Amino acid sequence: MYKEKTLLKSFGGVKEEDGSRKTEYGFVSEDLNAAGMRRHILIADDIAGNREILGDLLREDYVVLYASDGIETLEILRKRKDEIALLLLDLYMPNMTGQEVMARMQVDEDLMSIPVIVFTVDQQAELDCLKVGAMDFIPKPYPDIEIVKARIAKCIELAENRDLIRRTQRDKLTGLFHFDYFLRYVSRYDQYYKDAAFDAVSCDVNELSSVNEQYGWQFRDLVLRSIGISVNRFARKTGGIGCRGEKDTFLLYCPHQENLEDMLKKLEEGLFVDQETAGKITLRFGIYENAQLEPDVEERFVLAKIASDSVKGDPEKRFGYYQ
């Protein structure tokens, strides 16, 4: 039973016989139904009658939770984020509107992957909600219940497939692409931006093994996770992409920046708010400018890594360049 619970944990479903939490990896609706699983759905609507009517119609297929305003919706989502497979959200609620709830979800790493279907009668509101992150809409008054169920099932399936793809493509600790997928996206950049100049960057943590020995693996993982967040932020800002390479190496591929050194210094400075923590970590960078001229995609980052290693052990130098 323990292994089964571990396998099914956090996938928005419960085993009917014991009501316990489950799953990390996805199954299509038919698989979960066949296994006696029912996903959790949160209905957020300030009108009790609306909540109860829809809940009664969905109770046969889902475990239904309720919220009466936006603040309560966020509280339940945060408390039960590993269970809830879908949020059915009314836009017009007291204390906090549906749009505000979605805006909060989009900046919360624990909630941004939960799919949202919005109740609305306003087409302009539909467009605004799409921009904020809604996956679909259900008009009021409710259409035929089979239409509602079909939309719910499709949104959950799409969200689960998206999450599974993300877990396959990205490093669990840092959220960055794995190296193989990173190279695929670099190749796409070559196809889409044939005339643009790109820089390949290798970022390495100095003496990470010593840091691990002195401060422990939890501090080491904090360092790596923080670098991952900063690399991802840098990639978004420049229109590039990032990945975690081997162990303590991070890679960036971005449009050529004239002030790249200054930008990378700010990346390092922004790693930690705590100055004591920041003082324990130093980074070094290898830069291969106009890397798109090297036809072998993987070789670009091998050369950037060589440039980074060329300043290894020299406290006066933080940047190496491949010429």
- As annotated, the residues of the chain forming the CATH 3.30.70.270 domain(s) are 179-321
**Helix, strand, or coil (residue 289):** coil
CA–centroid distance for 307 within its chain: 31
Report how far apart, in Å, the C-alpha atoms of 252 and of each of 66, 77, 158, 177, 288 are: 44, 34, 29, 11, 10
Is residue 243 predicted with pLDDT exceeding 80? yes
Is residue 70 predicted with pLDDT exceeding 90? yes
Non-local CB neighbours of 315 within 8 Å, separated by 6+ positions: 282
Residue 277 pLDDT class (50, 70, 90 cuts): low
Write down the residue that tokens 């009664």 correspond to. 56
**Helix, strand, or coil (residue 285):** strand
Upper half-sphere CA count for residue 194 (Cβ side, 13 Å): 1
Domain at 179-321, CATH class: alpha beta
Report how far apart, in Å, the C-alpha atoms of 282 and of each of 104, 200, 213, 235, 269 are: 34, 20, 16, 20, 10
pTM score, two decimals? 0.53
Using one digit for the tens of pLDDT, what is the confidence trace for 144-156? Answer: 889 889 999 999 8
Is residue 84 predicted with pLDDT exceeding 60? yes
**Helix, strand, or coil (residue 66):** strand
At 170 the pLDDT is 78
Contact 266, 256 (CB under 8 A): no
DSSP letter string, 93-138: -SSS-HHHHHHHHHT-TTTTTS-EEEEES-HHHHHHHHHHT--EEE
The predicted model gives 159-168 an average pLDDT of 73
Using one digit for the tens of pLDDT, what is the confidence trace for 120-142? Answer: 776 666 677 776 678 888 877 77
Q: Which residues pair with 37 in a beta bridge?
A: 15
Choose between 22 and 112: higher pLDDT: 112
Residue 274 pLDDT class (50, 70, 90 cuts): low
36's torsion region: left (phi>0), alpha (psi -120 to 50) or beta?
left
With 0-12 CB in 10 A as exposed, 13-18 as middle and 19+ as buried, what is 190?
A: middle
In angstroms, rounded to a whole number, what is the distance separating the alpha carbons of residues 27 and 35? 10
Residue 23 pLDDT class (50, 70, 90 cuts): very low
- As annotated, the residues of the chain forming the CATH 3.40.50.2300 domain(s) are 2-169
- CATH code, 2-169: 3.40.50.2300
Non-local CB neighbours of 174 within 8 Å, separated by 6+ positions: 224, 225, 227, 228, 229, 231, 232, 244, 250
DSSP state at residue 82: T
Choose between 150 and 215: higher pLDDT: 150
Of the candidate ranges 167-176, 223-232, 254-263, 282-291, the one whose mean pLDDT is the lowest = 167-176
